[in-house]
Amino acid sequence: MSDQKVFVSNALEATIRIGILVLLATWCFTIVRPFIIPIVWGIIIAVSEYTGYLKLRRFLGGRGRTAAALIALLGLVLLIAPTVMLSGTLVDSAQGLAEGLQQGSISVPPPPEELKRWPMVGDELYGLWLQASQNLAAVLTKIAPQLKVFGTWMLSSAVGAGFGILQFVIAIIIAGLLLANSEAGGRAAYAFATRLSGEKGADFATLAEATVRSVTRGILGVALIQSLLAGVGFMVMGIPGAGLWALLCLMLSVVQIGIFPITVPVVIYVFSTADTVPAVVFLVWALIVGLLDNILKPILLGRGVEVPMAVIFVGAIGGFLSSGIIGLFVGAVVLVLGYRLFLAWLGNTSPGPVLASGLDGTLDKEG
């Protein structure tokens, strides 16, 4: 009876303690929940920029806080400057479109005859385009409900984009703070990984770091290069709303659709409005930019990580489809770590060697 009372007392005390810990953890999560996405992005940005931070710190004579502040400032400039330019382009384009509609100065060129031969949608698209070239106001009145839905979607997207930009500003500041305290943060991360996975925790932490850097270069880096080059072509050809189309190219390239859904209609527009030689040059430029990812991704994706590129690619795309843009990184890291654990389970004594940039910026081969 005495032993039973002691057991009940200990069980009750343990239950109360566990309940309090769960309540405290839930409360803490509720408090920090609005900052989870900026914190995750800050960690991703810090990991991606760490190599450049080390070089800048050495150039500045070891002044780490100054180097971190300069990197954060550069990131804010690179984020805010294109945002302001894009906003200005959108406002000017909207004002010009509104004035042109009011004055009746906007004219739509007649459709090419080849459009009729397009399967399924050719005749209907040709008729709508022809009517727009003859009476644009009537066509706009006809599709007014669809334009209203599109306008509502654009407004909500603009609000969401503004909130996303604010999150990125916070994330860049967090990344600067993490870089300024990178040594302590690195020790904490490796200690946490070792606590979870034992002696192989450091290997997995290094692998996660290398995977994040690989995905940044191979997916976001390539998407940024493609969208910038496409935007340059749009601006040179005088495409209305060039900044908006470049932004759409960036989004489509990130989700691995590619930029051709944007560049193909633009090429058709250029051939309808510009001279033949500039149009052909722009067509060649659009083809080169659109196919650029087929060259850069095999070079950059998976570089520095001894894991098949297909594993990283599937993890990144699957993570994006399930969790949004954050899933690009989380999915890739989780699938790569799972792949290593699966190899260890098959009979390897360790997850295998990892070739990646360590916390000191050197190339370490750990196994």
Decide if pLDDT at 348 tops 60.
no
Q: For residue 40, what pLDDT is reported? A: 81
| Percent of the chain with pLDDT strictly greater than 70 | 74
User: pLDDT tens, 14-51?
Assistant: 899 999 999 999 999 899 888 887 888 888 888 888 88
Average pLDDT score over the chain: 77
Q: How would you write 82-114 as a 3-class SS string?
A: HHHHHHHHHHHHHHHHHHHHHHCCCCCCCCCHH
Whole-number Cα distances in Å, 207 to 131, 226, 303: 58, 28, 12
Average pLDDT of 204-222? 78
Average pLDDT of 163-171? 79
Question: Which parts of the chain are beta strand (E)?
Answer: 354-357, 363-366
Q: What is the DSSP letter of 354?
A: E
Transcribe 104-161 into DSSP letters.
Answer: T----PPPPGGGGGSTTTHHHHHHHHHHHHH-HHHHHHHTHHHHHHHHHHHHHHHHHH
**Do 179 and 53 touch, CB atoms closer than 8 A?**
yes
Average pLDDT of 71-76? 88
**Do the domain assignments include residue 340?**
yes
CA 349 vs. chain centroid, Å, equals: 36
**Do the domain assignments include residue 294?**
yes
Decide if pLDDT at 260 tops 60.
yes
Q: Which residues of 252-277 are buried (b: 16+ CB within 10 A; e: fewer)?
A: bbbebebbbebbeebbbebbeebeee
Q: For residue 106, what pLDDT is reported? A: 63
**Do the domain assignments include residue 74?**
no
| Percent of the chain with pLDDT strictly greater than 90 | 5
Average pLDDT of 334-338? 78
**Do the domain assignments include residue 319?**
yes
C-alpha neighbours within 13 Å on the C-beta side of residue 202: 11
Identify the domain containing residue 271 by its residue range. Answer: 198-355
The total number of structural domains that make up the chain: 1
Q: For residue 365, what pLDDT is reported? A: 39
| Token duo for residue 274 | 């510009």
In the structure, what pLDDT confidence band is assigned to residue 93 with cuts at 50, 70 and 90? Answer: low
In the structure, what pLDDT confidence band is assigned to residue 98 with cuts at 50, 70 and 90? Answer: low
Least confident of 87-91, 133-137, 182-186, 349-353: 349-353
**Do the domain assignments include residue 333?**
yes
The predicted model scores a pTM of 0.65
**Do the domain assignments include residue 59?**
no
Average pLDDT of 88-113? 66
User: pLDDT tens, 114-139?
Assistant: 667 677 767 777 777 777 776 766 76
| Token duo for residue 110 | 């007649």
**Do the domain assignments include residue 302?**
yes
- Highest-confidence segment of 116-130, 286-300, 331-345: 286-300
Least confident of 28-42, 135-149, 207-221: 135-149
In the structure, what pLDDT confidence band is assigned to residue 353 with cuts at 50, 70 and 90? Answer: very low
Alpha carbons 151 and 106: distance in angstroms, whole number: 20
Locate tokens 């890291």: which residue? 333
Q: For residue 296, what pLDDT is reported? A: 82
Decide if pLDDT at 191 tops 90.
no
Decide if pLDDT at 94 tops 80.
no
| Token duo for residue 273 | 């409005």
In the structure, what pLDDT confidence band is assigned to residue 366 with cuts at 50, 70 and 90? Answer: very low
**Do the domain assignments include residue 154?**
no
